[in-house]
Amino acid sequence: MGARDERGAPPEGDAAVHGQALSKVYGTGRRLVPAVRDVSLKVRASEFLAIIGPSGCGKTTLLRMVAGLESPTSGTISCWGGPPADLAREHRVGMVFQDPALLPWASLRRNVEFVYRASGRRPDPESVDEILDLVGLTSLAHLRPHEASGGMRQRTALARALVMRPSLLLMDEPFGALDAITRRRLNGELERIWAAVRPTTILITHSVDEAVMLADRIVVMSARPATIVREVTVPMPRPRPAVPDEAFHHAVQECMEALDA
């Protein structure tokens, strides 16, 4: 990790993702709805950034601009110096959502392979085997989604997002629909998986504990329209301790104070 400024942000010129004065407004005329306002954000290569904020504040809109799925009303966004859409066209972006959106008729393995077919490429069996092993699905890859647990389905979605070794991994509440026990287990697994491949990662979550457990840095957003109210550096070493320590509780408290401000 390179040097950081006092807020924990990447230094100038060292950003993989760089948003400048991003704003997004929906609607027309008197029905304008501002979703994001004047957000400037940098994420360095191989950094794990979490974004937290009130429900409906514009976090997903910001993530969609990073993914190239939405264009900002004003401001600029770049990924590795180019438009986000270019990164997506090169199949260098992996995405995981709360709903894993698996093909119901296909096995878990076929669902992981689907990303190759969607990009017009032939599946690489060695890469598929490797990622299935990494997410712990090797012996279960023959199952169809309806035969798998929620945790298995979400691990399949993560494997699908990572199998082509993306430069950028974007996750929008990937564990939000899971029970607390499964969610905590998958937090630990995600940290292990991320450490093995280390894509630049942006995670949206409503769980402050999850953000602190997984991220190098946390961006706290205001209510809509979303603006950045605080950036919190997580000083804990990796792998993260199994039992929350003083540094964990301090980072959680700092995030909660920013959310309550």
pLDDT tens column, 64-108: 999 999 999 999 999 999 999 999 899 999 999 999 999 999 999
Query: Phi and psi (nearest 5°) for 39?
Result: -100, 125
pLDDT in the model for residue 28 = 84
Asked if 19 and 6 count as a contact pair (C-beta separation under 8 A), the reply is: no
- Residue 57 burial (CB < 10 Å; 0-12/13-18/19+)? buried
H helix and E strand count, the chain: 8, 9
- Which residues in the chain land under pLDDT 70? 1-13
pLDDT in the model for residue 242 = 81
Asked if 146 and 104 count as a contact pair (C-beta separation under 8 A), the reply is: yes
Residue in 5, 168, 165, 211 with CA at minimum distance from that of residue 78: 168
pLDDT in the model for residue 9 = 42
What CA–CA distance (Å, rounded) separates 24 from 138? 42
**pTM of full prediction above 0.85:** yes
Asked if 208 and 250 count as a contact pair (C-beta separation under 8 A), the reply is: no
What CA–CA distance (Å, rounded) separates 48 from 168? 10
What CA–CA distance (Å, rounded) separates 43 from 39? 13
What CA–CA distance (Å, rounded) separates 124 from 7? 42
